[in-house]
Structure 1
């Protein structure tokens, strides 16, 4: 018996790309460019933007800017993050963190997503798990449910 593993095992362990299947660049199926403005944003920028937005929300709470007791626990920080996302993504297509990192939320048909799409996306983002499950176009379940994609500016 050969010390080499069967081909199907290598494919299964290494994923479809190891089998020589070209899936194209993220966003190609959506008609988006491979690089530059309008291309799909990477995971790192999206996480960093969320972290910046989270820090802004917690900073606003601890400084007493929102009139909320800083010792209060529970859903208050997540609720403030959700309100920020609803207001900013719903009106400008991006949050403060997204703007700093040069990304925005776009509807699949182009332009800004509608209010219902932003609401669905925000609620699923606050649950965290849907945002951590990605497809090959680097869209989380929250983006798929809202028919949105995060692209570079």
Structure 2
């Protein structure tokens, strides 16, 4: 299963909870990217820019999709055409769009130095969020709110998978 959504929606946290409940390995693309690039995400953005970061992210996604794991993507994975097309072409692997109201997401990402695109004023971040919504929705097998507890969010995903025989 693959978790997508904007910064601060809880992809990593929910993925780890699902991994624990389902006894499955979890891979967070934001942990794979620095290993591929040989530097941190803020360093990639500073040294090479967002376009290079998205290419590293695509390589991490392609590599990780070969494994039977729970994948927590980065919030902007849908903005890079190759990554979007890779996710769109999946069959038999559910994609969950984790979402919450923008104001909640924005509060969650403030002061996080590992989010180069999140440390901007509210309106710029809102524009970013709005520009990605259609892509998240179009890829999603199901949209799940993360306003509820981590446990309830994970349980909702597990119930959906059971009911869908995934």
TM-score by length of 2: 0.27
- Greater percentage in helix: 2
Q: Which structure has the greater CA radius of gyration?
A: 1
Q: Going by fraction, where is strand more abundant, 1 or 2?
A: 2
When normalised by structure 1's length, the TM-score is 0.29
